[in-house]
A and B are shown apart, each in its own frame.
Chain A
């Protein structure tokens, strides 16, 4: 149990997907203009990460691994299968969001289907493989990584709402400022880097 908590904390704060690996930047920069849509997208990312991670784990170990049902090393199929799983899960999320919150569906726009190619999701699955997590650890990693990404996008959205009233130099307005904010946020998050929860 302690091990799972460690992985959660580590993936959420210390190795934050958005602010220390800079994954998932496209939607992170584009959908962070208001807190409301940022919360919606963040929740969608948590959901997709938490679902795809265990499914991809099953596929990776039982279908593609040498000890899987085919008995041979099929890991060269990893990328294609992972993306297929992610795409179908995103489709599911899209249908759910459209049914239950049409306003959020409209404000997320193209970025909801684009979660498919959100590098944070595929990156999470690939991290899971390279870190050799077991099933429970993969679930914990998915939830933690999603939560960290959610936190980052909601925080930057609140800051961007606040600096709407600031006299930002014209050349920096919009995306320029978002890049600057992301960098400074990464610096602020660096305070937690180097902590090893497993040591306690």
Chain B
């Protein structure tokens, strides 16, 4: 209690320094359960505090963070041809992953939270918690080699135009994290797609490219030297057979058999493949999805119907079989790319998804269909889930509108004769009064 009393004592005055007070309030309610619970906001359907809801989503992502960070290092040494076993060179892979991951994570939060705090202080509101989740999602959907300044511009774009312009947390129409990614995708396409961005630590990912380590690596080299462990060796280069392509990129060009030549199915399942930071490890994403389902934060309808939609479209493509990509067995589409990640954390965002139950079925199913359509049909874009989810976010209010309208129509319809004479006579009387009027 002593700590709590001390923290309460240092609370800045709200009138004198609104920015400091907002900052204090944000961290206070994050660390301690506040006396008030969130009441407003369109996505709240019970008395649970909004901040706690968000924290659960962030918790569900932690395994993806751990694996993603380690996998950055693993892919780096894979390109160099060193430490082929997944757990070999553990300390080097972990440290390299952290050196790549931490700047992405920290800068996302500096920019995003900074804008959030500034808007909160300006509006005189307490800090809205929405960026907790967006800020945790954005690093996971970036490639390891993303330039930090592009990341900052994209986060600023998404938070200001995608969220604050709509009035803040719970009011946005499009998923904020996906808006940040789609911004980079269209404005700086070479730094987020292609074969070059999935491995960190090289200027250019081509065979023969020499690794370039910075001060952080040499710092750790010294530490590892004291501990008697092996360090980072500079002057190594990427081995000849390395392409840096993701399974998806290979599949779209040469079909499934070319993928299995390079990656085993177990490897794709466990996630030791190049890709966006958080998307590769399927079991950990599924654990996260189960956490979200058990706590009832995510909607099982959306997840299930999205799987259905993707499987449906995949079977159609299998039957059509016109290009090598179409003949990829439909169930292997779940192993490649970001389907599961998009399903668990992106499509189920309660703010931007359809909010009626029937609407959720339509919404999820259409994401599955359109996402696979973009993935297979669109030669320019290797992956479709981000674009499919944004596309359906656009139509979610329309779906809800018509679902509600249908409900209203059904309820206000005159009772059918099957309901009994009482209802029938009533409706006849109603019609009579209407015709008189």
Chain A interface (Cβ < 8 Å from any Cβ of B): 35, 154-155, 158-159, 161-163, 165-169, 172, 177, 180-181, 184-185, 187-197, 200
Contact = CB atoms under 8 A, between A and B. Distances in A.
Contacts, number: 95
Main secondary structure of the interface of B (DSSP, over half): helix
B401 A161 contact: yes
B42 to A, nearest CB: 7
- The 5 A-B residue pairs whose C-beta atoms are closest, nearest first, are A191-B387, A167-B167, A158-B398, A194-B380, A166-B171
B374 A35 contact: no
Contact of B167 (A158, A168, A184, A195): A168
B242 interface: no
B377 A200 contact: yes
Q: What is the interface of chain A mostly: helix, strand, loop, or mixed? A: helix
Given A192-B378, A200-B377, A168 B398 contact: no
Interface string B363-399: 0000000100010011111001011101101110110
Contacts of A193: 380
B394 A185 contact: yes
A169 B401 CA distance: 24
Most chain B CB atoms below 10 A, which of A166, A187, A188, A195: A188
B165 A159 contact: no
B167 A155 contact: no
Nearest to A189: B391
Given A159-B397, A163-B173, A166-B166, A187 B186 contact: yes
Interface residues of B, number: 37
Contact of A167 (B171, B186, B322): B171
A35 to B, nearest CB: 6
Contacts of B381: 191, 194
Interface string B149-169: 000000000000110111110
A192 B377 CA distance: 9
Nearest to B173: A159
A191 B390 contact: yes
A188 B390 contact: yes
B77 interface: no
B106 to A, nearest CB: 27
Contacts of B166: 163, 166, 168, 177
Interface of B: 42, 161-162, 164-168, 171, 173-174, 179, 182-183, 186, 322-323, 370, 374, 377-381, 384, 386-388, 390-391, 393-395, 397-398, 400-401
A172 B165 contact: yes
A172 B167 CA distance: 10
Contacts of B182: 187-188
Contacts of B370: 191
Given A158-B400, A161-B397, A169-B167, 5 more contacts: A162-B173, A184-B162, A188-B182, A191-B378, A191-B387
B391 A188 contact: yes
29 contacts: A35-B401, A158-B398, A159-B397, A161-B401, A162-B397, A167-B167, A167-B168, A169-B164, A177-B166, A180-B161, A187-B182, A187-B183, A187-B186, A187-B390, A188-B182, A188-B387, A188-B390, A188-B394, A190-B186, A191-B370, A191-B390, A192-B374, A192-B387, A193-B380, A194-B378, A194-B380, A195-B374, A195-B378, A196-B379
Contacts of B378: 191-192, 194-195
A177 B165 contact: yes
A172 B323 CA distance: 47
Given A35-B398, A166-B166, A169-B165, A194 B393 contact: no
Nearest to B391: A188
A63 B400 CA distance: 48
Contacts of B393: 188
A161 B405 CA distance: 14
Nearest to B183: A187
A181 B174 CA distance: 10
Contact of A159 (B162, B164, B394): B394
